[in-house]
């Protein structure tokens, strides 16, 4: 049985206090309308079980704004931010007002943009859209007709829509500070080029081909981890594909990623330049390809400076947690152990900013000063990195730019289907803030 979602889970997810979440879900005043909407969307997406009376209010708030009117301009379903059926796609029950076939509240009408997504199938004659929903969209066909990639796609028997495929992973969503910005970049670039998009979530037990009409699809952008069986099926369908921040060696595909190896290497070099010699990497090496590459960049720079990584704490390389509360709970005994054994590092290089913020929270509880006693660096430069105390040194990832660049790579693949498979590594920027400083003379 899945663990019950708590208000603290929702608070961690949206980056707000538990108190604010409680007020929003109970319908009390003192919470801005847009904040309340965001919290309710997150609660539904995470599978939070509302008390009976609260559930009725949540359902009403989760419906499209002006259900009898125009709808949200980006086609976004308020039942969790995934257009059309997000809760079902994520393995959570749909709000009772949502259509199982399309995720729209029953009786809703209006006009969304072509960037609105379909989580469930298309049919012949309605390229890329579920039965009964084609009238809700304006595919921008007149603009797409003048687009070279769209023209090439049409001549090759491909459709006019691009699928944005995201994994069925709890925190890899449009609400994520990291993944959400990448998805926005993809959608914005497609919209500016007059190409419609369909945002769908990978279905664990459903064949991908049953979710779409392949004849209506120009190409696909996969964001984050996409399973091998799904990638194999996509290849067999002949859909041009680009993957962001994921690579499957057995299914050769164009890949766009941050240069994780090089930029974590630079983080380690910066910390070593500050005089630190006892450095610890923090992040689960099996979580994602990016974490794995960041670990190798860290290790490479340590070796270049003649510093051993044999003393790395194994638990900190395998730590797990679905949110900051869980991550903090998992990390704290490990840091206590390091201090007890006299092995506390003078600097932590963390696989992402959320982990780094958890480390700083624990160090503060332990009375360890950052950066006077210990330096901490993260990766990604999410919004919270500039708001943490102290502010976090990190690597800025051009998240919007990554999404936009992925569209360029996809259109190249559509226009030149026989060209060699490419792996594009994007650069970043080292953002130095208050969480790092010179190593203590006695450290």
**Pick from 140, 128, 316: nearest CA to 217:** 128
Domains 72-252 and 260-397 equal at CATH topology level:
yes
Q: What is the pLDDT of residue 149?
A: 63
* CB 285 within 8 Å of CB 296: no
Mean pLDDT, contiguous 10-residue spans, the chain (443 residues): 72 76 78 79 72 47 31 29 28 28 27 32 32 31 50 61 82 68 94 91 73 86 92 94 94 96 98 98 92 97 97 96 92 98 98 97 98 98 95 97 97 96 96 97 72
Structure tokens at 15: 């980056």
Q: What is the pLDDT of residue 244?
A: 96
User: What does the buried/exposed string (b/e) look like for 397-425 if buried means 16 or more CB atoms within 10 Å of the residue's CB?
Assistant: bbbbebbbbbbebbbbbbbeeeeeeeeee
| Eight-class DSSP state of 220 | E
Tell me how far apart the alpha carbons of residues 409 and 404 are, in angstroms, rounded to a whole number.
9
Q: What is the pLDDT of residue 205?
A: 61
* CB 362 within 8 Å of CB 374: no
Q: What is the pLDDT of residue 316?
A: 97
Q: Domain extents for the chain?
A: 1-62, 72-252, 260-397
Q: What is the pLDDT of residue 201?
A: 82
1-62 maps to CATH 3.40.50.300:
no
Tell me how far apart the alpha carbons of residues 320 and 48 are, in angstroms, rounded to a whole number.
21
Q: What is the pLDDT of residue 52?
A: 52
Q: What is the pLDDT of residue 101?
A: 27
Q: What is the CATH number of domain 72-252?
A: 3.40.50.2300
Considering the entire predicted model, what is its pTM?
Answer: 0.66
Q: What is the pLDDT of residue 3?
A: 62
Question: Which residue(s) pair with 395 in the sheet?
Answer: 430
Q: Mention the CATH class of domain 260-397.
A: alpha beta
217-223 vs 241-244, strand pairing mode: parallel
User: What does the buried/exposed string (b/e) look like for 154-182 if buried means 16 or more CB atoms within 10 Å of the residue's CB?
Assistant: eeeebbbbbbbbbbbbbbbbbbbbbbbbb
Structure tokens at 143: 């603009």
**Pick from 334, 223, 226: nearest CA to 283:** 334
Tell me how far apart the alpha carbons of residues 239 and 63 are, in angstroms, rounded to a whole number.
33
């Amino acid at each position: 049985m899945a663990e019950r979602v708590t208000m603290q889970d929702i608070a961690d997810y949206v980056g707000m206090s538990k108190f604010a979440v409680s007020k929003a879900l109970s319908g009390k005043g003192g919470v801005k309308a847009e904040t309340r909407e965001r919290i309710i969307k997150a609660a539904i997406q995470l599978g939070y079980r509302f008390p009976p009376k609260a559930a009725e209010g949540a359902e009403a708030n989760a419906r499209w704004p002006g259900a009898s009117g125009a709808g949200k301009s980006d086609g976004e379903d308020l039942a969790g931010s995934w257009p059309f059926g997000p809760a079902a796609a994520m393995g959570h029950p749909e709000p009772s007002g949502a259509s199982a076939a399309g995720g729209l509240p029953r009786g809703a009408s209006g006009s969304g943009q072509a960037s609105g997504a379909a989580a469930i199938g298309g049919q012949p004659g309605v390229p890329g859209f579920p039965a009964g929903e084609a009238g809700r969209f304006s595919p921008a066909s007149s603009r797409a007709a003048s687009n070279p990639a769209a023209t090439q796609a049409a001549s090759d028997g491909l459709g006019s829509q691009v699928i944005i495929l995201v994994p069925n992973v709890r925190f890899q969503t449009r609400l994520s500070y990291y993944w959400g910005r990448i998805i926005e970049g993809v959608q914005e670039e497609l919209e500016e080029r007059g190409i419609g998009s369909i945002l769908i979530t990978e279905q664990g037990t459903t064949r991908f081909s049953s979710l779409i009409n392949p004849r209506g699809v120009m190409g696909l952008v996969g964001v984050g981890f996409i399973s091998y069986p799904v990638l194999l099926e996509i290849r067999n369908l002949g859909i041009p594909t680009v993957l962001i921040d994921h690579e499957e060696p057995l299914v050769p595909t164009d890949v766009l990623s941050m240069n994780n190896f090089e930029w974590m290497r630079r983080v380690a070099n910066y910390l070593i330049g500050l005089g630190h010699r006892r450095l610890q990497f923090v992040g689960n090496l099996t979580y994602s390809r990016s974490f794995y590459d960041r670990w190798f960049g860290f290790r490479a720079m340590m070796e270049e400076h003649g510093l051993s990584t044999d003393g790395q704490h194994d638990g900190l390389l395998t730590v797990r947690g679905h949110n900051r509360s869980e991550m903090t709970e998992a990390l704290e005994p490990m840091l206590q152990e390091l201090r007890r054994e006299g092995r506390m590092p003078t600097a932590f290089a963390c696989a992402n900013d959320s982990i780094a913020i958890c480390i700083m929270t624990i160090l503060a509880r332990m009375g360890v000063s950052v950066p006077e006693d210990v330096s901490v660096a993260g990766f990604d430069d999410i919004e919270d990195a500039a708001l943490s105390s102290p502010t976090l040194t990190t690597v800025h990832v051009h998240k919007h730019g990554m999404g936009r660049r992925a569209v360029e790579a996809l259109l190249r693949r559509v226009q030149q289907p026989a060209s060699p498979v490419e792996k594009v590594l994007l650069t970043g920027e080292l953002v130095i803030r208050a969480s790092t400083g010179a190593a203590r003379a006695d450290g």
